[in-house]
Structure 1
Amino acid sequence: MAESAVSFLLERLKPVFVNKLKLFTGVEAEVIYLKGQLELIRAFLRAADAFEESDEELKVWVRQVRDVVHEAEDLLDELELVQLHNHTNGLSNYLSIRNMKAHYRIAHELKAINSRMKTISLTRKRFLSKLDTASEASNSTYTVNAWHDQRGDALLLDNTDLVGIDRPKKQLIGWLINGCTGRKVISVTGMGGMGKTTLVKKVFDDPEVRKHFKACVWVTVSQSCKTEELLRDLARKLFSEIRRPIPEGLESMCSDKLKMIIKDLLQRKRYLVVFDDVWQMYEWEAVKYALPNNNCGSRIMITTRKSNLAFTSSIESNGKVYNLQPLKEDEAWDLFCRNTFQGHSCPSHLIDICKYILRKCGGLPLAIVAISGVLATKDKHRIDEWDMICRSLGAEIQGNGKLDNFKTVLNLSFNDLPYHLKYCFLYLSIFPEDYLIQRMRLIRLWIAEGFIKAKEGKTKEDVADDYLKELLNRNLIQVAEITSDGRVKTLRIHDLLREIIILKSKDQNFVSVVKEQSIAWPEKIRRLSVHGTLPCHRQQHIHRSGSQLRSLLMFGVGENLSLGKLFPGGCKLLGVLDYQDAPLNKFPVAVVDLYHLRYLSLRNTKVTMVPGYIIGKLHNLETLDLKKTSVRELPLDILKLQKLRHLLVYKFNVKGYAQFYSKHGFKAPTEIGNLKALQKLCFVEANQDCGMIIRQLGELSQLRRLGILKLREEDGKAFCLSIERLTNLHALSVASEGENKVIDLAFLCSPPPFLQRLYLSGRLQELPSWIQSLHSLARLFLKWSCLKHDPLVYLQDLPSLAHLELVQVYDGDTLHFVCGKFKKLKVLGLDKFDGLKQVTVGEDAMPCLERLSIGRCELLKKVPSGIEHLSKLKVLEFFDMPDELMKTICPHGPGKDYCKVSHIPNVYSTYWRDDGWDVYALDSFSRDCSPRSGTVMRSHEPRTLWKV
């Protein structure tokens, strides 16, 4: 990691020499000397980083290098501030003298740093022979700290990584579905890394299981979980599962009240609740009486590393215990080759080495995947590289238990990362346990931290996305959610890996995580992540550390922790300030002095306005996130931010069924085109300044995502001309001034060639013919189009289309999905087709469709003809559809079409009533086939949120 710090600082020094910045006398010589020392020491650090854990003296030396590098980085940032003041017009004599003193001070401190660096550089010679000896001994002295085993070991495995799972999965499904009607507890036990969570998740997600139980909930049990937190989490997920609003006061309810609510929710339902990774008996005792024994065939599943807990919890209900065993030799080899050689066989000259490494993995899936991720990047012709990895496992692996082997393999995976990926990976330690990390948020944070450098032909965002993919490929992070068109939406990090990088971050003074239970604080804090309530008696330590603070992020903070309150002495080097979800009422005035600020997020706060005199001074700002705030207008001063790349200012506003506009945007300055670096701009209200803003959009040539609201028909030509110039556009969302207002696209002849997502909300005179040429289009949402001709004819051959939503789009009486068309479509929504009487699905049409939603088609009295051919359909939902149609699929009465939908795991009927949705599952229909005899689910959430 010291190598990472040195390399990062050398990158920071490049502009000083490339741009030939004017440096004060005495400073330039010191900077040149510093650069030379850093280059000399960097190569040595590559070896030292790998061995510092085994040698305390070396570890101290590496820490000294890192500390000096951090101090030098701080001085360079201070130097930039001083140079900024030098170029200020009308500088007073007092400021000139003050800046001159600052220059002398910086020169003096750089000289002191170089003196220390020289001593450190001389000392490194003492370690050269030691490192050579360690290498010759095949790393025999290499040891790893005793990492604390954490839960969720096997979550790093993708679907393609699963082997040896079919037999236990089949057995567990049988235990769940068959047997007596009484409540049973089924426990899965085994050591960490065995694949308990992976196995149970596959069982939980199986369509047969999901269809059998009316309510399925997954609860991950934290190692430090409190009783109330566990019950509250279970209650929240149950309300979400059955689509009912969470009652007020849930967050403050006591345990007994929570148990009563949970028991009432489940009393008459066949439910499945999974508690993943239970550590202590009291955690099971806290919830078992809240889960009713209702003789409906309900089941509870527990995964735990403790066998005694598994047996005790299951024996009470005459349940079952499944002891998960390591992979068999052939299964382990299959998994190893699949990940290491991408499904190909192992080259003959590597078989012995690979089998030796595989034996050290002890049949643990997570360990196999981790080491495979390292080996997959190696040259298959360089036997010496493979042999080095084989030898680096060392005597420590041979002598200790399987869990220690597993930890060593994970540590090896981290050490194998290049320096730029080490920083990106360690940065994940800022997020709390079980936190779903938004992909774009992470990318923007990486960029703001300076970890990402643009490459030829690629933006910083492209490079960061490549880094993310590389970490995914190495199985160090995993995908939590993907969008309907296959993009990664959220990520998570395996808990054991998270613990490892937290320890490394702490040791490297890279990130300081502070929460209520925190005891020790570092003297110098560079990145601070606050989780929950901050202990008052710790704030004095923060005050001392603010001078070197680079990043401040808050998660689950319940009080207004303003910068002035936390750092009364200032934090002038701050580059990242993330207040997302914090109880913030006003724009933080203290940021006015943060020249280095590159990332500012006030998302989901109560901020209502942005002061111009403040925002105009943040010249280095790259991301301004005001999503889900009440900001409706940006000041003219925003145009001074020439480095701004991401501008997000909008709020969803779906209050009722017939709400015309699903979001509020903002009024932008007329000359918005001056912000040349913008890549994402959402959502600009266009009905102002006589169309000037629309014409200005064409100047934003770097735009990747654009959201426009309230587009006027008379601005259609100017809009088309601007869009044609945005050749880098990937996502475009356009809404007219209202439901009956026209979006004029007749003048758009050459659409952006890389467009992947298109959202059009407004009347269309005809469907633009150029849509057929969008070969990369994966998502298409059309709303209020009112077309006279069937749009499917023009859309059916789009090669990448995965998600299609049509709302009040066509006046015809028939929709026909032709045989063999819509080959990639996964999600289809049809809403408000007033004249629609028939939908037909040809054989082999939409072969990948997984979700179908049909709503408000009053004349449609039958399910789509041919729906039985949609073999991959998982969810079929009707909302506000005629009772006559719903009776045709009633499982209890004269319904003739039930057999057509019986293969679909989830079939729902939904109605809008009293400002909320009543949702009925197909098997809940009454005996007289009335789909509205009783509410089984309740939700106030909007059906669809149109997102760019």
Structure 2
Amino acid sequence: MKNLSFCHFVHEDPVGITRRLSLAISSNNVFKGINCSHFRAILGFGKGGKLDPFISKLCSKSRILKVLDIQATSLNQIPNNLGNIFHLRYINLRGTKVQTLPKSINELYNLETLDLRETVVHEIPSEINKLAKLRNLLACNCNYEAMYSLLSFTTGVLMQKGIKNLTSIQNLCYVEVDHGGVHLIQEMKMLRKIRKLSLTLVRREHGDALSAAIVEMKHLENLNITTIAEDEILDLKFISSPPQLQWLRLKARLQKFPNWILELECLVKVRLGFSMLKDDPLQSLKNLPNLLNLCLWDNCYDGETLHFQNGGFQKLMTLNLSRLNKLNSIVIDNETLISVEHLTLENIPQLKEVPSGINHMHNLKDIYFTDMPAEFVESVDPDKGQHYSIIKHVPLVFIRHWYGPNFYDYDIRTIN
């Protein structure tokens, strides 16, 4: 492969003419003798060495580079002359220490993908709105160093006026719309090729503009909306539902269950949180013909009983019920949830007994009981639990307990 100038794996040896470079960064010596002018693609990985001088050299010397993938490296800063590499089509800075983007990014008129996930970049310069070929702008940061919170777990970025010029954009995640408000959302009506859209810090007064914008997004497949606060009411009034929508994540207080969801025949995944619905949402969701994954989280439902009725959820494979504070009973009829393979019940403080209907869910492969009441956990103990027979047929049953302070700080044990 080296003889074809296709790829070279660098440790600390000089490199000749190489088109595609993979850097296993372990020391500063890696970069000595590298001629940057011939590269078309660079893949870097590893936290060692100082990558910043190499990237600075790259921006000065390279003109034909198309792919720059340096995720999870020690890079701290992007040089101001990044725009010199005007053939760039793909930039991946995920997991680096980069904090800002240079204004010269507007010169990368061939750029199609910019990945800023797990960086601390918070403000996208207005110059990016000149990139008419940009298809994917991925920017979010997840907080794994604290107890889970649906509102604060994921943060997005600020976008500036002129976003309407990103007419090729297909994937836009996550934008904090509180900064640009109604005017920014109104510009989104022009993003008619968009397939995935994630918005955070949404306010009640954004509802009408957001509804009008989404109606124009005929190719939308994935929609994620999070309000600015748990009690922020959001009323989306669609003249017609996005016909291709497959994933819906709606974290907002709802006055009632949105009827437009029932029209989404392509919908395969639904996550609802903060909704505080007074009526059982299952009665509305049960007949979605292609629903595979359902998550009801964070007081999505304000009632005491959820009832999975006969004939509903025929294709559902994954069910997650989490942090429903008033829920004390789950009724599962014999002829429902027949395809479910993965079940999670998490932090439902008033649910003291295992739903007996689990006994009829013959396709279950695993169950996760996380931070459930002590009485609940004791009832499924294989030796003395009075309800162990209900879950005995399930191959894997996990008991998890969060001890903090970080997101992944769990004790876990298996009882099956």
- How far residue 589 of structure 1 moved from its aligned partner, in angstroms, is 3.4
Partner Cα distance (2:7, 2:28) in 1: 15
Q: Answer 1 or 2: which has greater helix percent.
A: 1
Q: Deviations over 1:519-558 (max 9, x none)?
A: x85x421121223437838732x22xx3322111112252
Q: Deviations over 1:14-57 (max 9, x none)?
A: xxxxxxxxxxxxxxxxxxxxxxxxxxxxxxxxxxxxxxxxxxxx
Partner of 2:157: 666
Partner Cα distance (1:551, 1:537) in 2: 17
Matches within 5 A, 1:292-303: none
SS at match of 2:356: coil
Match of 1:875 among 366, 373, 396: 366
- How far residue 784 of structure 1 moved from its aligned partner, in angstroms, is 0.6
Partner of 1:681: 172
Partner of 2:17: 524
Partner Cα distance (1:899, 1:767) in 2: 36
Partner of 2:284: 794
**Aligned residue type for 1:531:** A
Partner of 2:398: 908
Partner Cα distance (1:598, 1:785) in 2: 40
Contact 1:891 1:922 in 2 (8 A): no
**Aligned residue type for 1:508:** L
Partner Cα distance (2:311, 2:401) in 1: 33
Contact 1:586 1:607 in 2 (8 A): yes
**Aligned residue type for 1:788:** K
Matches within 5 A, 1:494-505: 505=1
Partner Cα distance (1:564, 1:625) in 2: 17
TM score, norm. by length of structure 1: 0.42
Match of 1:921 among 390, 413, 416: 413
Q: Deviations over 1:785-814 (max 9, x none)?
A: 100111111111112211111011112222
Match of 2:8 among 505, 509, 513: 513
Matches within 5 A, 1:562-581: 562-563=53-54, 570-581=61-72
Partner of 1:771: 261
Partner of 2:119: 629
Partner of 2:43: 553
- How far residue 912 of structure 1 moved from its aligned partner, in angstroms, is 3.0
- How far residue 569 of structure 1 moved from its aligned partner, in angstroms, is 6.9
**Aligned residue type for 2:304:** D
Contact 1:801 1:825 in 2 (8 A): yes
Partner Cα distance (1:538, 1:629) in 2: 24
1:782 aligns with 2:278: no
1:536 aligns with 2:32: no
Partner of 1:821: 312
Partner Cα distance (1:537, 1:876) in 2: 47
Partner of 1:610: 101
| CA 1:588–1:874: 2 relative to 1, 3 Å | farther
| CA 1:539–1:507: 2 relative to 1, 3 Å | same
Match of 2:132 among 626, 629, 642: 642
Partner of 2:334: 843
Contact 1:711 1:736 in 2 (8 A): yes
| CA 1:735–1:572: 2 relative to 1, 3 Å | same
5+ residue gaps, structure 1: 1-504, 925-948
**Aligned residue type for 1:803:** N
Partner Cα distance (1:643, 1:885) in 2: 54
| CA 1:603–1:658: 2 relative to 1, 3 Å | closer
Partner of 1:704: 195
Q: Deviations over 1:716-749 (max 9, x none)?
A: 011000000000111000000111111211x213
Larger radius of gyration: 1
CA RMSD of aligned residues (A): 2.2
Partner of 2:295: 805
Partner Cα distance (2:31, 2:121) in 1: 34
SS at match of 2:9: strand
SS at match of 1:698: helix
Contact 1:815 1:839 in 2 (8 A): yes
**Aligned residue type for 1:618:** L
SS at match of 1:530: strand
Contact 2:129 2:165 in 1 (8 A): yes
Partner of 1:600: 91
Matches within 5 A, 1:332-347: none
Contact 1:531 1:557 in 2 (8 A): no
- How far residue 758 of structure 1 moved from its aligned partner, in angstroms, is 0.5
TM score, norm. by length of structure 2: 0.93
**Aligned residue type for 2:108:** L
Q: Deviations over 1:554-585 (max 9, x none)?
A: 12252223445665971111111111111011
Contact 1:516 1:535 in 2 (8 A): no
Partner of 1:716: 207
Partner Cα distance (1:789, 1:732) in 2: 24
**Aligned residue type for 2:138:** L
Partner of 1:899: 389
Contact 1:558 1:583 in 2 (8 A): yes
Contact 1:572 1:594 in 2 (8 A): yes
5+ residue gaps, structure 2: none
- How far residue 701 of structure 1 moved from its aligned partner, in angstroms, is 0.5
Partner Cα distance (1:538, 1:620) in 2: 27
Detail structure 1 runs of 4+ shifted over 4 Å in the superposition.
Answer: 564-569
Q: Deviations over 1:64-117 (max 9, x none)?
A: xxxxxxxxxxxxxxxxxxxxxxxxxxxxxxxxxxxxxxxxxxxxxxxxxxxxxx
Partner Cα distance (2:261, 2:242) in 1: 10
Partner Cα distance (1:695, 1:665) in 2: 19
| CA 1:840–1:690: 2 relative to 1, 3 Å | closer
Partner Cα distance (1:698, 1:538) in 2: 46
SS at match of 2:210: helix
1:586 aligns with 2:77: yes
**Aligned residue type for 2:208:** K
- How far residue 921 of structure 1 moved from its aligned partner, in angstroms, is 2.4
**Aligned residue type for 1:857:** I
Partner Cα distance (2:105, 2:410) in 1: 45
**Aligned residue type for 2:327:** L
1:732 aligns with 2:223: yes
Q: Deviations over 1:900-933 (max 9, x none)?
A: 1112222223333342544342539xxxxxxxxx
Contact 2:314 2:339 in 1 (8 A): yes
Partner Cα distance (1:907, 1:734) in 2: 32
Matches within 5 A, 1:94-109: none
Partner Cα distance (1:918, 1:535) in 2: 38
Identity %: 35
1:694 aligns with 2:185: yes
Q: Deviations over 1:402-425 (max 9, x none)?
A: xxxxxxxxxxxxxxxxxxxxxxxx
Contact 2:159 2:180 in 1 (8 A): no
| CA 1:535–1:709: 2 relative to 1, 3 Å | closer
SS at match of 2:114: strand
Matches within 5 A, 1:253-264: none
Instruction: Number of aligned residue pairs: give it.
Output: 411
1:755 aligns with 2:248: no
Q: Deviations over 1:844-863 (max 9, x none)?
A: 31222121111222221111
Q: Answer 1 or 2: which has greater strand percent.
A: 2
Contact 1:514 1:534 in 2 (8 A): no
Partner of 1:832: 323
**Aligned residue type for 2:119:** T
- How far residue 507 of structure 1 moved from its aligned partner, in angstroms, is 4.5
**Aligned residue type for 1:527:** R
